[in-house]
Structure 1
């Protein structure tokens, strides 16, 4: 590639990073509100704590079900169309959740959460989209910047209870529907930014640079099977996917039950607005742990290697579930555990995603990325679904113990599949 092409690509990449980062700020509002209020709404509308994890399960199932279709759409039409379409579906899901709160229909709540999962699928695909034109030595940094941009929206989401209640009061609808109105507005803005400003399309530009003649609209392979075949043939890619999947399952399982655990601990004040606000604040700290230091995780990935950074993340996750499992009645310690849970997830996800991209050729990446995102989301759904019954049977410490076992198993697998120098 000549110097003019390099300069043009560098300018385009900087514009892509800015566009995706800005869009992520707004689109992150949707999942933040759903995650923070999901278990509470599920119990209120279903009447049973057994269904406490159902909203987060539906959210992650929605992400899993749409990750591969979005990757297929990206292969056929480019990243811009895929990301904007996903956000449009998530906006419709938010409207369904508002309808569920207004009508008290539990099934409508689950349908809305399922569609809001599209926003998570978009967030996941955006982190890979930013690597399409990234220089190999700066992939971790660029990927982490897009992940970091979710911080503002995702942290603000759980704290929309107060402003949302005011907005809902003006409109004469239930207070808990207010945060989702704000979420919908944020996703509308995010979709508009992607549709108008993600130019050039990073995936189509990558194809042009590589001499790939596949034109927009032409069918391409992006199925689950195609992604699995790519990952299966590369041991390092398998190790990266296993690590990302395990970290996500643990994070979702522990995080999704924390609001209910805090409600139990609050006792008679469980329904008090201050208790709900405290839950929102704790979840905000957890989400800040997930995203706020992601540039540091990207720097470490580029500096010391992706595999080492993933293992550091897994160690942080072990420390997190040790705190939540050993001292579950101490809310300060639980909060610290939730922050570490976010930090461990951040390291494992940023470095694991970078390791996956670095292992594969450009032609192999999009199918493998779709497979990784779908599997990651399915694991999150399984973790959330299992967390409710486990919580009912053996309590919050039981969830932490099982999470620790999963992380240890995944870390051993990563060490076996991956050259640690990477």
Structure 2
């Protein structure tokens, strides 16, 4: 029996989407706070752009730490267990960073950001949970609804960081950035509770029941690697998602420092960073429903090609922007988010549609592991490039990396179309 033939599937999917929508709004707020504060906090502690980029990359790439145990938890307990685990790790990360701030210990703060990145992992995994029970012909759209929901929280998140700082400083006092971390921790706890209580029945476990795969053997990240190695569609999706993530993180991580280097007032810089990164995150998520419909109508390959072109344009606009040209930087960062959205939604739909429900956690987990490692590589590389060359040279480097996906898009992508799956 297929998911589309089950009479209750439509109602179950609506409930899943409502729950995921709520958690993405709240979790998006938490991620937005972490993105806005990370590079600034570590540069204040170390005085180095290199270490600041490392912290930011570890935040976005922290999924590499949790993806292996998260896949095992998801295999056993479904999406509910894996997502709650990710947010719980992020809560632990906020506690570590708060301790590091009071101890003035930068290495401990960097470790905390690695844990904090689990919130980013959970947010990315939510898009797969939205696709588990979706009809094949609407998989891209349903997946994109959850991606879009992050807009509400993530756009506001960087500005909330500044508000949390001012409120905490007035009410409690103490070192800078503690208020931001407390706010992020509270939001992650609330998100985990909503997932645990309301994401029932679990979409992945239900999809397996409907497909008759409840007795399928448990799979690991290694199985996901083997699937990607043998399946051209999965391989293309994994590479496209990883390269898009690399470019987005590489440019975005250093933009906050690029802005601050052109401003004398650090407090005013945080406000400007919040606005520009908010616009960037809006570009990442706001048009996701449009991207999802394009994927459903035209397939993943054309959307991936368009995403590649947009990312190259984003690097050109942002890389040519002086530090005090906030309008041009905003345009470049919005394009960067839009290109990332096209690559992420199309790649996720491609990977999900190419495997059965029993193979999804391991294959999707492998894809997110590669994305996390790509993000870490971007942050590690971006700091030294900016410190010893320039922000413009970083954008040139990222544009070249973007074009590495072209050979994969030119190759043959096998796998059933949405119409074939629906039939």
Structure-1-length-normalised TM-score: 0.94
Which residue does the alignment assign to 2:10?
A: 10
What is the deviation of 1:2?
A: 8.9
Q: How does 1:390-405 map to 2 (within 5 A)?
A: 390-405=385-400
Residues 104-162 of structure 1 show CA distances to partners (whole Å, capped at 9, x for unaligned) of 21122112111111111111111111111110001001111111111122122211233
Secondary structure at the counterpart of residue 238 of structure 2: helix
What is the deviation of 1:419?
A: 6.4
2:353 aligned to which of 350, 358, 377? 358
Q: How does 1:12-411 map to 2 (within 5 A)?
A: 12-169=12-169, 170-214=171-215, 220-223=218-221, 225-266=222-263, 268-269=264-265, 271=266, 273-329=267-323, 330-411=325-406
Deviates most, 143-152 or 1-10? 1-10
Structure-2-length-normalised TM-score: 0.94
Change (3 A) 1:206 1:311: same
Secondary structure at the counterpart of residue 265 of structure 1: coil
Secondary structure at the counterpart of residue 174 of structure 1: coil
What number of residue pairs does the alignment pair up?
A: 415
The whole-number CA distance in structure 1 between the counterparts of 2:346 and 2:66 is 23
Any conservation in 1 of the 2:58–2:379 contact (CA below 8 Å)?
Answer: no
The whole-number CA distance in structure 1 between the counterparts of 2:329 and 2:414 is 35
The whole-number CA distance in structure 2 between the counterparts of 1:392 and 1:15 is 48
Any conservation in 2 of the 1:57–1:380 contact (CA below 8 Å)?
Answer: yes
Change (3 A) 1:417 1:248: farther
Any conservation in 2 of the 1:71–1:222 contact (CA below 8 Å)?
Answer: yes
5+ long unaligned stretches in structure 1: none
Change (3 A) 1:121 1:18: same
The whole-number CA distance in structure 2 between the counterparts of 1:4 and 1:68 is 31
5+ long unaligned stretches in structure 2: 418-423
Change (3 A) 1:2 1:322: closer
What is the deviation of 1:255?
A: 0.2
The whole-number CA distance in structure 1 between the counterparts of 2:4 and 2:91 is 41
Change (3 A) 1:256 1:100: same
Secondary structure at the counterpart of residue 201 of structure 2: coil
Residues 253-303 of structure 1 show CA distances to partners (whole Å, capped at 9, x for unaligned) of 00000000011122x33x2x2221001110000011001111111111112
Question: What is the alpha-carbon root mean square deviation over aligned residues?
Answer: 1.9
Change (3 A) 1:420 1:322: farther
Any conservation in 1 of the 2:65–2:115 contact (CA below 8 Å)?
Answer: no
The whole-number CA distance in structure 1 between the counterparts of 2:67 and 2:411 is 28
Any conservation in 1 of the 2:57–2:253 contact (CA below 8 Å)?
Answer: no
The whole-number CA distance in structure 2 between the counterparts of 1:327 and 1:420 is 42
The whole-number CA distance in structure 2 between the counterparts of 1:421 and 1:373 is 22
Change (3 A) 1:417 1:260: farther
The whole-number CA distance in structure 2 between the counterparts of 1:236 and 1:155 is 32
The whole-number CA distance in structure 2 between the counterparts of 1:190 and 1:282 is 26
The whole-number CA distance in structure 1 between the counterparts of 2:133 and 2:415 is 26
Secondary structure at the counterpart of residue 133 of structure 2: coil
